[in-house]
Amino acid sequence: MSRHPKVVPWRSEGEISLLRDWFYSNDCRERALSRVKAYQTRGPVPQSIETTANLVSAVLNDNERNDSYSVRLGYSMAIVRFVNGMLDPYQKSREAISMYTLAKFANLPSFFVELRHVATHEGLPSLELLREGTRRAIDWLWDNFWSLNSHDTAAAEMESAEYNIRRETVKELMRQWRRMRRSDPTKEVKPGDGSTDGQQYWKLVKEIQNALQKDEIAFMDTLYTMNVLIPTGKDGSVKKSALDPSIRLFDPLLDALNNDGFVDRLARYGLDMVDAQPGPFDWTPKEYREEQEEEQETSNKDYYSSIVHWIKHFITPRNKRGSKPWLDDADSLIEHCLESPRPWNVEILQHYVDKVPSANNRVKTLVQDMANQINFESTNSNKRKVEEIEAEVNSFSKRLRKEQDQTINDTPNEADDWSVCQNWSPRPIGVL
């Protein structure tokens, strides 16, 4: 939860309720637009309120004083901004998602997406179609925003907008860091360095620390998802060859930020992101697991694999003399991986037992058992070949047939059975 108060343009919940009534009353719409303009001078306005104002303004401009083309242009602009404003918050993927897919997430009828497409890429739609689309858009906003607890909904939109602003701020600071350190990413700058470069270095570090303190979640989210720790190309695919250089670039910064267990929380945040990815249950038979894994995009696999690479880096002992370990409480991370034996967690555990000499022998045995159970490729090198299995099956079949033949041959003939003596008569035992 944010430690900072939320600042909104309105003074009370009643103002939002009054604004709603004005928007949906034909006689008070001008007052509603004036109120929104006043709010905009005080700060950002929630997207739903601004979008409603745009649509209502287009309706009010639809009169005899304005020519048909200007009216159509106003309607089209309002529709385009309505669709963009409602769907942009759902565009959180590193790769572009189609408007139709986003509309499903937002429960927005595809009619609006189609109308936006026509208004953007083709000729302006007819006036009748634009009027109908605007009316339906205003109705949709009533059902999905105004008829709800509009004050809480507006406050949530404000918080979401502020969150995105904080993310963009962090991203810009990371760009500055990259530009500053690109020529020599491993150059050490000691605290108190009075040179021009040293002053610029620690000034930027201070700004980054302030951004971290304002919103740690937004800060960590930016590091993992906005082309910072994990380098990506223009198409959104991970540049795996640039991952180790990225580690060298950001290690000094993370070292400067690593107070009060920040890197512990950064590692756990990344692990939670990987754990949240869609995937098969861990003990699913391998052949079915592979079928499901084929459905996942390679780019996503590379992305999650890169997060795991960073986590493995954090649990690796540091070679530099005098450097404290990245993690203050590595045992907590290892315990989580042991409790959740998913493939990537086992990969982290295997790296841990390989790189940390003090790892408990019991943990090593448990990790090996987990790896065998999940059928990691690294543990499948001793698999028996198909030819060996077929040879054993054939040998068993021959031995079985031989035993069956022997059983048939050992069956006694009736001629060899016991027979009753012809002159025999029953007598008590011992009497001839």
Q: Indicate if 272 and 192 belong to the same structural domain.
A: yes
Mean pLDDT, the chain, rounded, equals: 81
Q: Indicate if 165 and 107 belong to the same structural domain.
A: no
pLDDT for 377 equals 47
- Residue 409 pLDDT greater than 70, yes or no: no
State how many domains the chain has. Answer: 2
- Residue 283 pLDDT greater than 50, yes or no: no
Residues with Cβ < 8 Å from 319, sequence gap 6 or more?
Answer: none
| CB 326, CB 318: distance < 8 Å | yes
Q: Indicate if 114 and 191 belong to the same structural domain.
A: no
3-state secondary structure of 201: helix
- Residue 129 pLDDT greater than 90, yes or no: yes
- Of the CA atoms within 13 Å of residue 254, those in its CB half-sphere come to 27
Domain end: 104, 127, 149, which one? 149
Helix axes 68-87, 110-121, angle to 10 degrees: 130
Q: Indicate if 143 and 203 belong to the same structural domain.
A: no
Exposed, middle or buried: residue 49 (CB in 10 Å: 0-12, 13-18, 19+)? Answer: buried
| CB 22, CB 32: distance < 8 Å | yes
Max CA separation in the chain (angstroms) = 143
- Six-digit token string for 185: 């990413």
Which residue's structure tokens are 């000729």?
A: 123
Per residue in 357-388, pLDDT tens? Answer: 877 777 778 888 777 776 544 444 455 566 77
Is 304 within a domain? yes
Q: Indicate if 201 and 274 belong to the same structural domain.
A: yes
Q: Indicate if 185 and 247 belong to the same structural domain.
A: yes
Residues with Cβ < 8 Å from 111, sequence gap 6 or more?
Answer: 133, 136
Residues with Cβ < 8 Å from 54, sequence gap 6 or more?
Answer: 77, 78, 81, 82
Instruction: Provide mean pLDDT across the span 182-208.
Output: 90
Q: Which residues on neighbouring strands pair with residue 232, listed in sequence order?
A: 238
pLDDT for 300 equals 75
Is 139 within a domain? yes
Q: Indicate if 145 and 187 belong to the same structural domain.
A: no
Domain end: 119, 149, 179, which one? 149
Is 261 within a domain? yes
DSSP secondary structure letter of residue 260 = T
Instruction: Provide mean pLDDT across the span 264-289.
Output: 68
DSSP secondary structure letter of residue 264 = H
- What's the pTM? 0.55
User: Considering Cα of 88, then 90, then 94, then 95, what sign does the dihedral take?
Assistant: negative
- Six-digit token string for 24: 């949906």
Instruction: Provide mean pLDDT across the span 394-406.
Output: 71
How is 349-399 classified by DSSP, letter by letter?
Answer: HHHHHHH-TT--HHHHHHHHHHHHHHT-GGG-TTPPPHHHHHHHHHHHHHH
Q: Indicate if 171 and 241 belong to the same structural domain.
A: yes
- Six-digit token string for 147: 């008829």
- Six-digit token string for 396: 């068993």
Is 27 within a domain? yes
Q: Indicate if 267 and 354 belong to the same structural domain.
A: yes
Q: Which residues on neighbouring strands pair with residue 238, listed in sequence order?
A: 232
Phi, psi of 232 (to 5 degrees): -130, 155
- Residue 115 pLDDT greater than 90, yes or no: yes
Is 399 within a domain? no
- Six-digit token string for 31: 């007052």
Domain end: 101, 118, 149, which one? 149
pLDDT for 371 equals 76
Q: Indicate if 201 and 90 belong to the same structural domain.
A: no
| CB 362, CB 294: distance < 8 Å | no
CA 191 to CA 188: how far, in whole Å?
10
Structural domain boundaries enclosing 260: 152-282+297-381
Q: Indicate if 23 and 61 belong to the same structural domain.
A: yes
Is 371 within a domain? yes
- Of 3 and 46, the structure prediction assigns the larger pLDDT to 46
Q: Indicate if 253 and 203 belong to the same structural domain.
A: yes
